Amino acid sequence: MRRTISLRPLASRLTAAPAARVLVIPARGYAEEPTPFSGAKAEDLGNGKYRFQIETPYAAHKCDGPEQVCETTKEELLSIFKQMTRIRRTETEADKLYKQKEIRGFLHLYNGQEAVLVGLEAALTLEDHIITAYRDHGHLLTRGGTPKQVLSELAGRASGCSKGKGGSMHMYSKEGNFYGGNGIVGAQVPLGAGIAFSQKYLKTGRVSVSMFGDGAANQGQLFEAYNMAALWKLPAIFLCENNKYGMGTSIERSSASTDYYKRGDYLPGIKIDGMDALAVKQGMLYAADWARNKGPIMVEAETYRYGGHSMSDPGTSYRTREEINRMRSTRDPIEKIRYKMLDNNIATKEELKAIESEVKAEVDEAVKAALEAPFLPIEATYQHVYLEDVPVRAVELGKSYVPKQ
């Protein structure tokens, strides 16, 4: 007997498919109803010093963890504000240049995560060592670089920090002990362990900070690095910048355990509010002291990126605009430090506006200088490949590169 199958239900499903589900992940560790920026009261210690209570308590694994207070000065607070503003402004201009097609290739911006880096630097010196992944423009700035060097590198110009050859993912500063952005996910962490080994071998008393994102946290090579660092008690800090999404995948969908500060298992670890520069500073002071005197430690800085993973990702297909706007309007690290100063009469609005104007002028000039800078000549492609300048044979012998004597 012939059976007749109605296609109407199937057609209905095809033409009226349900809307794509957006998985909204609440920011773990933060209050359900985020507090406004104002309200953080400082204790005036005299002699230009202030003490702030850490708003989001630290979590600790196999250690006592940092004190829940942070001492600072007006000069340090203004410096933190300026550095974060400088990073934000530089990244904003990089975004514009990319859309104008002055920057090509990959571009990963740091907007929203500034407190992690600037708070970290407040706990270190330039003699300590940092290595990170490919979201690295701000790192060059805090390690002694300039917006001109960053933007020139992004635009492929000879005045860039890597002479225009590295681009977005390969900023580098020998003088600043910054071992660059690295394009292979997680690959910087074993290198950072090696840097820590060199510091112990040379007895420098310096630490090595290996920064990586939650998207790299499941890489096997990280656990190999933890093991070696623990065996040799290396002065290593493994710093996970947990911005909630590895590319477009939320941490709940990618990680069986989202407590990244516990990932070292046998290593101690702490968890920090990565949207608060003072909380990061106090936490990293603790971590640096531990690494120098006892060995490796894990740090998780809970943060948030405002943009997509890179410029090719709008960043709104896997999270809502409301979530992004909520973080901007209630947790922004620059606004947080601004109101800490204003609410406690540590700085005036005029002082902060003057800093913002100064930074804007500096970055505007950097954009102009970057676009006016020359590209490297074609023969420079073959240079800096090896330690020495050596001949490179082309497919057509006549186009081979021969170093000038």
CATH code assigned at 42 = 3.40.50.970
Assess whether 361 and 393 both reside in one domain. no
Assess whether 115 and 131 both reside in one domain. yes
Assess whether 200 and 323 both reside in one domain. yes
Mean pLDDT of the chain: 91
pLDDT digit string, tens, across residues 12-65 = 333 333 333 334 444 444 434 444 687 789 999 999 999 999 999 999 999 999
Assess whether 342 and 387 both reside in one domain. no
For residue 86, the SS3 value is: helix
Assess whether 94 and 175 both reside in one domain. yes
User: Burial code of 187-225, b = ≥16 C-beta within 10 A, e = fewer?
Assistant: bbbbbbbbbbbebbeeeeebbbbbbbbbbbbbbebbeeb
pLDDT greater at residue 221 or residue 26: 221
Report if residue 152 sits inside a domain: yes
Report if residue 47 sits inside a domain: yes
Neighbouring residues of 297: CB distance < 8 A, sequence distance ≥ 6: 63, 236, 237, 238, 264, 267, 268, 269, 270, 287, 290, 291
Report if residue 16 sits inside a domain: no
Report if residue 277 sits inside a domain: yes
Neighbouring residues of 111: CB distance < 8 A, sequence distance ≥ 6: 88, 91, 92, 305, 306, 307
C-alpha to C-alpha distance for 195 and 197, rounded to whole angstroms: 5
Assess whether 51 and 109 both reside in one domain. yes
Assess whether 208 and 268 both reside in one domain. yes
| Number of domains, the chain | 2
Looking at residue 15, its pLDDT comes to 36
Assess whether 387 and 239 both reside in one domain. no
Rounded percentage of the chain residues whose pLDDT exceeds 90? 83
Closest CA to 49 of 27, 31, 76: 76
C-alpha to C-alpha distance for 228 and 249, rounded to whole angstroms: 30
For the chain, the residue count is: 405
Assess whether 196 and 292 both reside in one domain. yes
Assess whether 157 and 291 both reside in one domain. yes
Assess whether 367 and 394 both reside in one domain. no
**Chain centroid, CA 40 distance in Å:** 25
C-alpha to C-alpha distance for 270 and 224, rounded to whole angstroms: 20
Report if residue 236 sits inside a domain: yes
**Chain centroid, CA 259 distance in Å:** 19
Q: Which two tokens stand for residue 282?
A: 């106090």
Report if residue 6 sits inside a domain: no
Q: Are the C-beta atoms of residues 58 and 271 closer than 8 Å to each other? A: yes
Report if residue 17 sits inside a domain: no
Report if residue 145 sits inside a domain: yes
Assess whether 294 and 397 both reside in one domain. no
pLDDT digit string, tens, across residues 164-208 = 999 999 999 999 999 999 999 999 999 999 999 999 999 999 999
Q: Which residue range(s) make up the domain with 400? A: 379-405
C-alpha to C-alpha distance for 118 and 132, rounded to whole angstroms: 14
pLDDT digit string, tens, across residues 76-99 = 999 999 999 999 999 999 999 999
